[in-house]
Chain A
Amino acid sequence: MNPQRRLRLFATVSHRLFRDGLLFQILHNEDIELVGESETGVETLQRLAAVRPGVLLIEENLKDNDGLTIAENALSLHPALSVLLISDTPVNSSRMAIYLESGIKAVVSKQQSIQELIKTLFYIRSGQVYLGNWQSTRDRADDALTAYQALSGREREVARLMSQRVAVRDIAEELGVSCKTVHSYKDRIFVKLGFERLPELILFMQRHHQRALP
């Protein structure tokens, strides 16, 4: 894989709110270039030739057409396109086999996390099928939880305050350390938990507050 080459993404998602939510998260990633977006299948097929994406992210249920039909048509015109299908529900093995034989590279269901979706985008960028997260029995939130429990007491304290949006200056004051120290705690926490931005930490603390407590 050539790191200089960006992932050229086209996103076809009917509902604006859902599309915005996905794209805001996806575009935090510097390696992804959004070359187009659309809310309908017809428009997607019309625009693909001009923008030449490497990956097409498409919802199964579009308002004008079936996303899979659109994907199949897109693939007949651009066989090297990698398609990631977003399904409403988890996909069983018979359906997954059909999708793969249709040329779909990966399926992510709406029950899965945004991190899974982004990770999947990168695996399929060179035309590889990716099923690594399909029906995986492992809950990835558990990894973060394990990592959280392995944090030092101080780190956990900083994580808790940060997730409550307490300013670095105030955290430093409360803990009686310098701002620089708080910043280095912050970096360490993010690295250890595998997070990149504050909202991820806030969500994690919210969702796992009970279990995360020491």
Chain B
Amino acid sequence: MGHFHSPAVLLRYHSEEAKQTFEALFAQDFSIHAFSSDEAVLEHIAAAEAPPAALVIAGCETSTAINSTLLVQARTQYPTVLRVLITERVILSELVALLDTQVIDRCFEQPLDPDLIRSHLLTAALTSPELSGQTEHQPSLPNTEGQRPVVLIVDDEPAATKYLIRQLEHLQDEFSLLSADTAEAALEHLRTPGAPIAVVMTDQRMPGMQGKELLDELRQSHPAVVRILTSAWGEVDVALNAVNEGRIFRYQKKPWQAQTLLPLFREAIARHRELASALDNTRCETRKRFAELRLQRHGRLVDHLRPILSAQVPDTTLNAFLDTVASIDHLPAAKAHLRASQDMHLEQELVRRFCDHVRQELSRLENIVPAGPGQSRMTSLFSGTTPQERATSSPPCSPAELLGQALNTLLVSSGLDWSHLVLTESRDQLHVAPEQPLRIYSHLLAPLTRLSDPLLEQQAALLMLFVTTSLLGGDVSAEADGQCLHLAITLPVLPGSGN
């Protein structure tokens, strides 16, 4: 694929100078449409085929942006368009007002960091807003039915917090309140199962981890928790960072007043419910779609692998392999995986490249020798050096040698080596098992974002293990445990041929 076409950015400029500066910095990366009036911007969006990645307001005071009908209209009509304000100097009270009305998503003041702004604009162009990239790594949202939502207040002055909490508890019974006197203690609360924390309001200045850092962490680990930053100090840079990086819901100036906080918390809880249900819907939808994809992929693998293997082993071997793979846990499917499957031809590629790997492995098998003579070589195989050293010799190799190589590949991908194999020999059987379970972080039936050689090699090795064991008249026992696989192979040994 060639160069990324320049994403569209609409610029509403309030001065010729602002326009020139913006164009000088970003014309190379974006296709900029500049307008000097709100009407012209709205006309352009309405007429355009697709909405732009971002709408940038440049060269006006923060106060102008607060009353901008353009921003309000853009927010309601084109919610996916990132709204950015670039201004000479930000005044804290005005930034707070901008947050209250939710008319801007990002705000930058002079001196500008062009790389940072470029980064925000490109990210908006590549991904859908806000919730993307955060949905997949979350633990399931707690079932909050029947429980009151919790507002967590984090401040290193426990007396003030306690007083506020008592007041708020008197005023309402819709939500309950918790307090923490450090960011670390707040994280502990959030990790505690069962507490349906909906909102976190944190002070900025605390010993240890700062409020802003806590909110940064929460944005990633608990995206449905609504974040409010509060401070007695008017630090504009902290507030700006909290808006741009922490995506805070509000910036609340101290001292706190229960009467103003009550409506704020109500609004924040409503926002939390929206976010939580949006996350849940996305998650359900994604899992459903992946389940369909997985079924298709399974069918396709069977269709393509069966003819390749049918000359060597019975269908039951392929089934046993695929059942084993299917039983191994994987990460929950996310938007990234669906996108990879749909946009990148991953599904076709997976089947094609995996089958190529398998064909190549099978082509190395020498003419299959009847069980018996081959057995004597097998025991010596496992008592010798790493098969990798021998693998450098070209084919053909015996099923036993191929089994050894497959085992080695599986060991290496689990951070183990040949010395981690445990061999137990009885009179007519050889048991081979890794002393630790194998680690399978991804597999043929897992959600995939990328096809990599290590993945294909590992999965082909697992299949070859089933195939060669079957050829040798042995048996594979494979039991999944999370992302681990307990593997044991039993091979027949002719009496007297061993050692």
Contact = CB atoms under 8 A, between A and B. Distances in A.
Interface string A28-46: 0000000000001111011
B29 A136 contact: yes
Contacts of A95: 344
A95 B4 CA distance: 11
Contacts of B132: 100-101
A98 B449 contact: yes
B1 interface: yes
A129 to B, nearest CB: 5
A1 B235 CA distance: 12
Interface string B219-233: 111000000000000
Interface residues of A, number: 52
A153 B360 CA distance: 64
Contacts, number: 158
Interface stretch (A19-27, A67-75, A144-152): A67-75
Contacts of B340: 98
Given A41-B441, A103-B137, A129-B119, A66 B221 contact: no
Contacts of A75: 137
Nearest to A97: B126
Contacts of B245: 126-128
Contact of A80 (B220, B414, B441, B453): B220
Interface stretch (A56-64, A158-166, A167-175): A56-64
A102 B28 contact: no
A103 B412 CA distance: 27
Interface in B24-41: 28-29
A46 B415 CA distance: 10
Given A69-B455, A101-B334, A103-B136, A64 B413 contact: yes
A64 B412 contact: yes
B16 interface: no
A43 B416 CA distance: 10
Given A127-B220, A131-B123, A69 B441 contact: yes
Interface in B342-400: 343-344
A204 interface: no
A61 B453 contact: yes
Nearest to B136: A103
A98 B451 CA distance: 13
The listed residue with most A CB atoms (<10 A of its CB), out of B136, B414, B441, B455, is B441
B439 interface: yes
A130 B119 contact: yes
B425 interface: no
A93 B455 CA distance: 23
B174 interface: no
The listed residue with most A CB atoms (<10 A of its CB), out of B136, B344, B483, is B136
B284 interface: no
A109 interface: no
Contacts of A101: 127, 132-133, 136, 334-336, 339
B429 interface: no
A76 interface: yes
B434 to A, nearest CB: 13
Contact of A1 (B241, B335, B441): B241
Interface stretch (B151-159, B209-217, B317-325): B209-217
Interface string B86-127: 000000000000000000000000000011101100110011
B454 interface: yes
B219 A127 contact: yes
B217 A100 contact: no
Contact of B450 (A46, A68, A132, A137): A68
Contact of A79 (B220, B344, B454): B220
B427 interface: no
A72 B220 contact: no
A94 B336 contact: no
B217 A123 contact: no
B454 A66 contact: yes
A136 B117 CA distance: 13
B1 A93 contact: yes
A86 to B, nearest CB: 14
B1 A94 contact: yes
A5 interface: yes
A135 interface: yes
Nearest to B7: A93
A113 interface: no
Contact of B414 (A42, A66, A103): A42
A40 B133 contact: no
B29 A137 contact: yes
Contacts of A97: 126-127, 339
B441 A2 contact: no
A119 to B, nearest CB: 8
B134 interface: yes
B221 A80 contact: yes
Contacts of B126: 93, 96-97, 100, 131
Given A62-B454, A94-B343, A70 B441 contact: yes
B116 A123 contact: yes
B34 to A, nearest CB: 20
A46 B449 CA distance: 22
The listed residue with most B CB atoms (<10 A of its CB), out of A40, A102, A129, A134, is A102
B192 interface: no
A81 to B, nearest CB: 8
Given A42-B414, A93-B4, A98 B119 contact: no
A137 B4 CA distance: 11
Closest 7 CB pairs of A and B: A42-B415, A132-B115, A66-B452, A101-B336, A93-B4, A132-B119, A79-B221
Given A42-B439, A129-B119, 8 more contacts: A65-B452, A66-B442, A68-B450, A68-B452, A80-B216, A100-B336, A126-B213, A131-B119
28 contacts: A1-B241, A40-B415, A42-B415, A43-B415, A45-B441, A60-B452, A64-B454, A65-B413, A65-B442, A68-B452, A69-B441, A76-B331, A93-B126, A95-B344, A99-B449, A101-B335, A102-B133, A102-B336, A119-B115, A126-B213, A127-B216, A127-B217, A130-B116, A131-B119, A131-B122, A131-B126, A132-B122, A136-B115
Interface of B: 1-4, 28-29, 114-116, 118-119, 122-123, 126-127, 132-134, 136-138, 210, 212-213, 216-217, 219-221, 241, 245, 331, 334-336, 339-340, 343-344, 412-415, 439, 441-442, 449-450, 452-455, 458, 483
